[in-house]
Amino acid sequence: MDLFSDEYTDGNALAGPLRELFTVDMTSAVGRCVSCGGEGPVAGMKVYAQAPGLVARCPSCQEVLMRLVRGPSDAWLDLRGTMSLRIPMPPE
Amino acid sequence: MARAAVSGGLNRRLAWHAARLAEVVEETPSARTLVFDVPDWPGHLPGQHVDVRLTAEDGYSTERSYSIATPADGTRVALTVQRVDDGEVSPYLTETLSPGDVIELRGPVGGWFVWRSADPAPVLLIAGGSGIVPLMAMIRARREAGSRALFRLIYSVRTPEDRFYADELRTRARDDMGLDVGYVYTRQAPEGWPTAPRRLSVADVNNGGWPPDFQPACFVCGPTAFVETVADILVALGHDPRRVKTERFGPTGS
């Protein structure tokens, strides 16, 4: 796979699939990359949808940050490339 | 429940809704606006999108994301869909789906690529092709909310026939105080246009946008390669990367 082609979209496309799992919008969450330490909103991740499921890569170093596969009875969320997610929350 | 709308339905599990096509508006020879009626629609913010799911008789189903073209309006949800010739979903939505037909729709989703009408900062909108859709929702919401935030739109399209909302944008550029609209034509320009067709350039963004000192909120939407180019230009011109919000459609589109 050519990582530098434009065969990708971005983390805005994760809004629906992640909103199925979380009660708040996750595209505004700020993630930190395990590989390079880069920080940015989930919306800014590079998302490849051609794989089985969705693969999100770091826009700085291209490492895999997140993988999400939705099966008929389970969702698999692999976050091994993400050190942390800072999630904006309503005040209460 | 303003808060519930802001978060896209807080504390409610995101569910698929039945959406009935109520109205169709032809925008260009290959794009149309589909106005759906969605009972129990929780409202949305300009810039948010929906996921659309189509299921065939044999059970095969497929999903696509589409931006909402209008501000919240009761149970009405309007999507403008560009036909992608070898696409799986858009030919059906733009040619086959008829008023009264029902599809499945999930949303609203996305809380990052949104404009909030209480934000007084100047706004720069840069659209490539059908990337105009969520930006048009912002333009429409601005007037509806009586916002005085200054807006500038730079709209890159292949030809004059490919412009979405051309008449409405002409009217709004005249009547919506504080809204500027500029075009860049990449394949064919209108008669008498001062420049030959060409790609969006640094000069277009520099002259048609805001100085970085104004700290504008920048929204860029379009095909992936277009968005990467424009975002790089904005950052190179001195805009804070955190003020540059982007939404990429992928490799297809104009």
Residue B183 maps to a domain: yes
Q: How confident is the model at residue A1 (pLDDT cuts 50, 70, 90)?
A: very low
Neighbours of B10 (CB within 10 A): 15
Domain of B187? 123-248
Residues of B in Cβ contact (< 8 Å) with A5:
251
Residues of A in Cβ contact (< 8 Å) with B134:
none
Closest to B10 (Cα-Cα) out of A16, A23, A28: A23
DSSP B25-45: EEEETTEEEEEEE-TT-----
Considering the domain architecture, whether residues B163 and B51 belong to the same structural domain is answered as no
Closest to A27 (Cα-Cα) out of A43, A38, A49: A43
Residue B114 maps to a domain: no
Considering the domain architecture, whether residues B93 and B127 belong to the same structural domain is answered as no
Residue B253 maps to a domain: no
Residue in this structure with the two tokens 């246009």, named with its chain if needed = B193
Residue B59 maps to a domain: yes
Q: Note whether A9 contacts B: Cβ–Cβ < 8 A.
A: yes
Tokens linked to B212: 């970085």
Residue B98 maps to a domain: yes
Contacts of A51 (CB under 8 A, 6+ apart): A67
- Classify residue B145 by burial, with Cβ atoms within 10 Å: 0-12, 13-18, 19+: middle
Residues 34-53 of A with CB under 8 A from B: 41-44, 49
Considering the domain architecture, whether residues B44 and B134 belong to the same structural domain is answered as no
Residues of A in Cβ contact (< 8 Å) with B223:
6
d(CA A70, CA A53): 7
Cβ–Cβ < 8 Å for B43, B5: yes
Residues B41-87: tens digit of each pLDDT: 999 999 999 999 999 889 888 889 999 999 999 999 999 999 988 88
CATH of the domain at B43: 2.40.30.10
Q: Report H helices in B21-160.
A: 90-91, 132-145
Q: How confident is the model at residue A59 (pLDDT cuts 50, 70, 90)?
A: very high
- Classify residue B3 by burial, with Cβ atoms within 10 Å: 0-12, 13-18, 19+: exposed
Chain B contacts to A (CB-CB under 8 A): 3, 7-8, 10-11, 13-14, 49-51, 63, 65, 106-107, 109-113, 223-225, 227-228, 245-251
Q: E strand or H helix at B203, and its extent?
A: helix B202-208
Residues B78-124: tens digit of each pLDDT: 999 999 888 889 999 999 999 999 999 999 999 999 999 999 999 99
Considering the domain architecture, whether residues B165 and B231 belong to the same structural domain is answered as yes
Considering the domain architecture, whether residues B244 and B192 belong to the same structural domain is answered as yes
Indicate yes or no: CB of A7 within 8 angstroms of CB of B112: no
Indicate yes or no: CB of A23 within 8 angstroms of CB of B109: no
Considering the domain architecture, whether residues B157 and B130 belong to the same structural domain is answered as yes
Amino acid at B223: P
Residue B138 maps to a domain: yes
- Classify residue B123 by burial, with Cβ atoms within 10 Å: 0-12, 13-18, 19+: buried
Q: How confident is the model at residue B251 (pLDDT cuts 50, 70, 90)?
A: confident
CATH of the domain at B211: 3.40.50.80
Residue B115 maps to a domain: no
Length of chain A: 92
Where are the domains positioned within chain A? 9-82
Considering the domain architecture, whether residues B134 and B93 belong to the same structural domain is answered as no
The total number of structural domains in chain B stands at: 2
In degrees and rounded to multiples of 5, residue B40 shows phi and psi of 70, 15
Model-level ipTM above the cut of 0.90: yes
No. of helices (H) and no. of strands (E), chain A: 1, 8
Indicate yes or no: CB of B11 within 8 angstroms of CB of A12: no
**In Å, how far are A75, B24, B157, B167 from B160, measured between CA atoms?**
45, 21, 7, 12
Residue B12 has pLDDT above 70, yes or no: no
Cβ–Cβ < 8 Å for A46, A56: yes
Percent of chain B with pLDDT over 70: 94
Percent of chain B with pLDDT over 90: 86
| Of the residues B63, B81, B109, the one at which a domain ends | B109
